[in-house]
Amino acid sequence: MYLVWIHLITWMVILVTTIIALFSQSRKLSLISMMITRVGYLFAIVTGVLLVSHAFSNHPALTIIKVILGIVLIGIIEMAFATKNRKRLTLGLAWLVIFFILLVGGLGLYLTSGYPLNQYL
């Protein structure tokens, strides 16, 4: 299932680039990281749509919750980016974004029963 790998790697890239965008002191590096994160959304949405039917057949309620949390997560990331651009980003909002990314990622790993990571543990 190469789509699971693409989805997982995309979310790891989104996590790293979001952290860089929010915590970097360099405006140029922050803007580049924000753009990479936004391109990552596209890959995450496309692969997520293609994977949702498999997850829905095993855990319908959790899949719906993950889809909603994923959409909310993109909104929270964009709110954090907007406040960063206005130089009003609070540490609490930055940590909330990271928490939500890890929450959605953890839920995604639960829905796949740890695949693809469980084959290496």
Query: What is the pLDDT at residue 113?
Result: 86
- Give the tens place of pLDDT for each residue, 93-108: 999 999 999 999 999 9
Domain extents in the chain: 1-115
First-residue to last-residue Cα distance in the chain: 18
Residue 51 CA to residue 66 CA, distance in Å, equals: 12
Which pTM value belongs to this model? 0.92
Residue 92: pLDDT above 80?
Answer: yes
Burial degree of 41 (CB within 10 A; 0-12, 13-18, 19+): middle
Q: What is the pLDDT of residues 7-39, one digit of tens each?
A: 999 999 999 999 999 999 999 999 999 999 999
